[in-house]
Amino acid sequence: MMKISVVQFSPLLLEYKKNLDVVSKLLARCDADIVVLPELCVSGYLISRREHMAACSERPGDGPLFQVVHDYSRASGAAVVAGFIERAGEVFYNSAMLVAPGGLIGVYRKIHLFGDEPSLFRAGDSGFNVFSIAGTRIGIMICYDWRFPEAARVLSLKGADIICHPSDLVAGAHLWKPVMQTRSFENRVFIATANRTGCDRAGDTELCFSGYSQITDISGKILGELGGKEEGICTVEIDPLRARNKAFSPRNDIFKDRKPGFYQPSR
């Protein structure tokens, strides 16, 4: 058994230092083996100008957010997944870092970019990958990846027990929550969606985020969730190894029953 937390709050747009401080304080309140923070959790989301990005970005394993998260990880023993602007030379990615007490374990670069993101970020180029921490296999997807069944599917086929899903979802909770329940159900995998709250404003544009962070079990049941506006932490206890049994009856196993030969639209 292990504990997993989703952390929900409202980052202030471009207020990197203030957001870092909030993250640090929220982490200090966590008591879990895995903690998931939202997408772009210290920069805010509605960045309209590329020149603002560098100051809110960092290279993997080398920056203020990594430092805060790693300090917490070393002190607590927890693994942390946190969304951030990844700087790679002249290019930025909408990424999530996975950090354990020993350091940076991996980075996921968001593959499906949403809305205006392509004007700021390069699309993820390193695939959906699963990382093992203390015997638990962790997959990562970010926000808009939710709409594509292939994201959770490929992570699950690669062996993920838990999919950590940092998000800044603008879709209503009534839309994304049942879909994420389906993602858990159809893959028999745990999913922890850490969604932000509040609104970002830039010029005449305002974007609001739908909160209601949730953790679902392998049957799609919501084990724990937060409200639509509150800052908070939701923690549940799970047995991640349950995700390795893809059989729901003696005769049916949702992975063994797959027929990949018929899944190519070009055939």
231 catalytic residue (yes or no)? no
Instruction: Please state, as a whole number, how many other Cβ atoms lie within 10 Å of the Cβ of residue 128.
Output: 22
What single DSSP character describes residue 52? G
Of 70 and 188, CB closest to a second copy:
188
Of 7 and 215, CB closest to a second copy:
215
List the one residue from 71, 127, 201, 241 that touches a second copy (CB under 8 A). Answer: 127
Q: What's the closest the beta carbon of residue 168 comes to a second copy, in angstroms?
A: 15
Q: Are 100 and 52 in contact (CB under 8 A)?
A: no
Of 21 and 125, CB closest to a second copy:
125
158 catalytic residue (yes or no)? no
Q: Are 137 and 123 in contact (CB under 8 A)?
A: no
Q: Which amino acid is at 51?
A: E
Catalytic hit among 30, 41, 56, 143: 143
List the one residue from 51, 135, 203, 259 that touches a second copy (CB under 8 A). Answer: 259
Helix (H, G, I), strand (E, B) or coil at 182: helix
Helix (H, G, I), strand (E, B) or coil at 19: helix
Of 142, 119, 167, nearest in space to 11 by CA:
167
Catalytic hit among 30, 56, 58, 110: 110
For residue 254, state whether it binds a second copy (rule: CB under 8 A). Answer: yes
Q: Are 82 and 97 in contact (CB under 8 A)?
A: yes
For residue 149, state whether it binds a second copy (rule: CB under 8 A). Answer: yes
Q: How far apart are CA 203 and CA 260, in angstroms?
A: 48
234 catalytic residue (yes or no)? no
Binding-site ranges for a second copy (CB under 8 A): 111-116, 123-124, 127-128, 144, 147-150, 153-154, 157-158, 175, 178-179, 181-182, 185-186, 220, 249, 251-252, 254, 257-260, 262-265, 267
Residues belonging to the active site: 39, 110, 143
